[in-house]
Structure 1
Amino acid sequence: MKKIYHLSSCNTNQRILKELELGDDVELHDIKKENIDEQTLDFIKEKVGSYEALFSKRAMKYRSMGLNEMDLSEDDFKKYILEEYTFLKRPFIILEDEVFVGNAKKTVEAAKKAYHGS
């Protein structure tokens, strides 16, 4: 399974997709059109260790909803990610058994190496 969950309207995500030089073997999912499903979210959580690691605290709604002032549990992080695509860190890259989350340069480079096998 090779999938990338991204936001097509995000310039950073567009740049990363170009940088990865992907082939036709990768399925792209625009999370604005179709948010991540619970089964996939649970799979990724198992790989990274927590829902909080998948949650974007940079999302504008994080502050506007007052979530920054709450003590959120793992169940809360999961619930908000499933309800609102903006809370998912992106891009989200699944390459078989490896998962890469976020747009940090180190993460993107690791995903590129994993995809191209170098």
Structure 2
Amino acid sequence: MRKIYFLKTCSTCQRILKSLPNLDTFQLQDIKNEPITVKQVEEMQQLAGSYEVLFSKRATLYKEMGLKDENLNEADFKRYILEHYTFLSRPVIIADGKIFVGNSPKVVQQAIDFLQNE
């Protein structure tokens, strides 16, 4: 499976997509227009190892809802990711059993390197 979960309106996601080799081999899902399903987030969690890895603590709602002051567990992370797309750390790139989560330069470079070496 080759899939990228992203936000079409996010300039960072757009920049990262343009930098990826073989983008035409991926199925793209704009998570604002096509919300992620329980099955999809569970598949991401299997590859990433936890829901917390997939959760964006930089989301505006994270602070607005006071979640930074709560002790969240894995079930909480999953629930919030499913409730609102802003809680998914973006983009999420899945390629051939590997997952790359977020937009840090290190993660983006790892994804590019992996895709170039196929």
Verify same fold: TM over 0.5. Answer: yes
Question: Normalising TM by the smaller chain, what interval?
Answer: over 0.9
8 Å CA contact 2:2, 2:25 repeated in 1: yes
1:9-48, aligned counterparts within 5 Å?
Answer: 9-48=9-48
1:61 corresponds in structure 2 to: 61
Q: What runs of 5+ residues in structure 2 fail to find an aligned partner?
A: none
Residues paired across the two proteins, number = 118
1:72 corresponds in structure 2 to: 72
Distance in 2 (CA, whole Å) between partners of 1:96 and 1:21 is: 14
Q: TM-score, normalised by structure 2?
A: 0.94
1:37 Cα deviation from its structure 2 partner: 1.4
2:2 corresponds in structure 1 to: 2
Q: What runs of 5+ residues in structure 1 fail to find an aligned partner?
A: none
Residue 69 and residue 18 in structure 1: after superposition, are their counterparts in 2 closer, same or farther (change >3 A)?
same
1:102 corresponds in structure 2 to: 102
Distance in 2 (CA, whole Å) between partners of 1:23 and 1:65 is: 36
8 Å CA contact 2:17, 2:23 repeated in 1: no
1:22 Cα deviation from its structure 2 partner: 3.3
CA RMSD in angstroms, aligned pairs only: 1.2
Q: TM-score, normalised by structure 1?
A: 0.94
